[in-house]
Chains A and B, each alone.
Chain A
């Protein structure tokens, strides 16, 4: 197990290398000349050329990539073209709101989605099942920003239960943190709940028809233990897989949600950076999110062995 973990961690290195190359070349190939943008409308071609040279944009691709990679490995993500602040520092400042949003969303999604899916499978074909499925379709098809504005309008403007927007750091108190994040997390969680509930239902339906479920019943095991111990543990692998894959959607959704609720997170940072073609910031954020995603999938792989003893690497 330990050896496997070490091997898997090592295996993420080439993955991250490819990600780095991709992140770097994506921006290299993107349209728009940052030198021209920085120089402004009144600049002469010489000014633009000078700025390009000072940014190192005139040198060969591979040289620039390796130089950049070497600095990244030392934790230096470069300096923002616009604010002149180190990118690593800018991202660090914005991490807490984003990770808070993602963690709360995940917690809400798991709390609701798994019991919903289990219930729907158990009560297959009844109105409960149909209700869950209708909710799942809605959760899928209504975009985050629509749900977000609806929630903000109803629960913040009309009912005044939650603040309309903004963010309170967790250090300033759990209550404020939670009340600020509740609406965005619910808005973002909708899709995730729908996704996980559907997979849970489908997998549970398959598991519940297995012989060992009948054995458990024949032993006198109660319905709840049959569902949540005997069956759910068998259904865990596909559910965890979808949570891991859904994490990518969570990252993308966080960007939109942060804009809707004016949360000063990494999502807002990257949107602003893209609009200003602030290359180092974009590269830093994409690289950071890729890293998080790779780590999440590593955890997912390791969790397989926890839930299914037949999986051994």
Chain B
């Protein structure tokens, strides 16, 4: 594997679900890559296919009713072609995942030590005793006080923030190369959110893992990520560096997202305050194939061309991809 090839390269991912009333196209032709050691943000509103994309990478989608097509290349190997046992040896070892709900994502009847230790017992063949030792080390690493005692406790004896720390400890126990974090802070208090993000950033540099950070919180993206993928209705609509996306959003949807976020320093009292804008309308149904641009029904700049032809994703500025007929091409792109 050459050093220039990405750690994870997703090509034309399609994840569909067969339901009683038709096929739901949750992810429809998404491509992006993650380089070793980088943090990629995946943003978009609820139901845009962020989580399904993440679950597709680890093949956690029940198949059937789910169906995953396309290519997911991890260090050059297509994960979609691996057997289930081969996939099992990758889950939790090379790629691990943190989920949104720390309250329900830990098994209530197994001790946290057991749950952290299980990963290293599976992937590194450690004995139960060594695994507990590793679990204590991991709990120390994620900043849980009295780890030797906590390791014998059950999830219900821990707070939400602590549980998410346990989840992180579990995910990092085998030093994975890629950590998929699906809204890791959404269910937590704001103060705890900051702590968890700080912890993830700190551990990322220590472990050297790449992170795919799924969130709908643009503030989190600005703080954590180098690059951003914006998803809408199962499609990638924009991709670029954090600076490009925040300072120069080109897709009307991304512009709408930015407009709906309060800016620090803008006053809420003065008459000349900047108004928060909302994106009118709702996400289109994913049950029917979408003709034209997926955002057409909500787009302020919509034209007939948008409704008839889906825009191709194009590089409109250096390292800045957009799928919009009307996104201006950067003047100095050449």
Residues of A at the B interface (CB closer than 8 Å) are 210-212, 214-223, 229-230, 233-234, 236, 307-310
Contacts and interface: CB of A to CB of B under 8 A. Distances in A.
Contacts of A307: 109
Given A222-B85, A310-B108, 14 more contacts: A218-B60, A218-B96, A218-B99, A219-B119, A220-B92, A220-B122, A221-B92, A222-B88, A229-B110, A230-B107, A233-B109, A234-B108, A308-B109, A310-B109
The range of chain B's interface size is 20 to 34
A96 B60 CA distance: 52
A215 B119 contact: no
A309 B156 contact: yes
21 contacts: A212-B104, A212-B106, A214-B99, A215-B107, A217-B60, A218-B58, A218-B97, A219-B92, A221-B88, A221-B92, A223-B84, A229-B110, A230-B107, A230-B110, A234-B107, A234-B109, A307-B109, A309-B108, A309-B109, A309-B154, A310-B156
Given A220-B122, A220-B123, A309-B156, A215 B88 contact: no
Contact of A215 (B89, B90, B93, B106): B106
A211 B99 contact: yes
A58 B251 CA distance: 99
Interface string B115-128: 00011001100000
A305 to B, nearest CB: 11
Nearest to B58: A218
B45 interface: no
Nearest to B153: A309
B88 A212 contact: no
Nearest to A219: B92
A307 B122 CA distance: 23
B46 interface: no
B93 A220 contact: yes
Contacts of A233: 107, 109-110
B8 to A, nearest CB: 16
B154 A218 contact: no
Interface of B: 58, 60, 84-85, 88-93, 96-97, 99, 101, 104-110, 118-119, 122-123, 154, 156, 167, 170
Nearest to B91: A220
B107 to A, nearest CB: 4
B60 A214 contact: yes
A216 B107 contact: yes
Contacts of A220: 88-93, 119, 122-123
By Cβ-Cβ distance, the 8 closest A-B pairs, closest first, are A220-B92, A219-B92, A220-B91, A211-B104, A212-B107, A218-B97, A309-B154, A211-B105
Contacts of A310: 108-109, 154, 156
Which residue, of A217, A230, A234, has the highest number of chain B Cβ atoms within 10 A? A217
A192 B52 CA distance: 42
Given A219-B122, A220-B123, A309-B154, A210 B96 contact: no
Contacts of B88: 220-222
Given A214-B99, A309-B154, A219 B118 contact: yes
A263 B154 CA distance: 48
Nearest to A237: B109
A223 B122 CA distance: 13
Contact of A219 (B85, B96, B154, B156): B96
A221 B122 contact: yes
Contacts of A215: 97, 99, 105-107, 167, 170
Which residue, of A214, A218, A222, A230, has the highest number of chain B Cβ atoms within 10 A? A218
Which residue, of B58, B99, B105, B122, has the highest number of chain A Cβ atoms within 10 A? B105
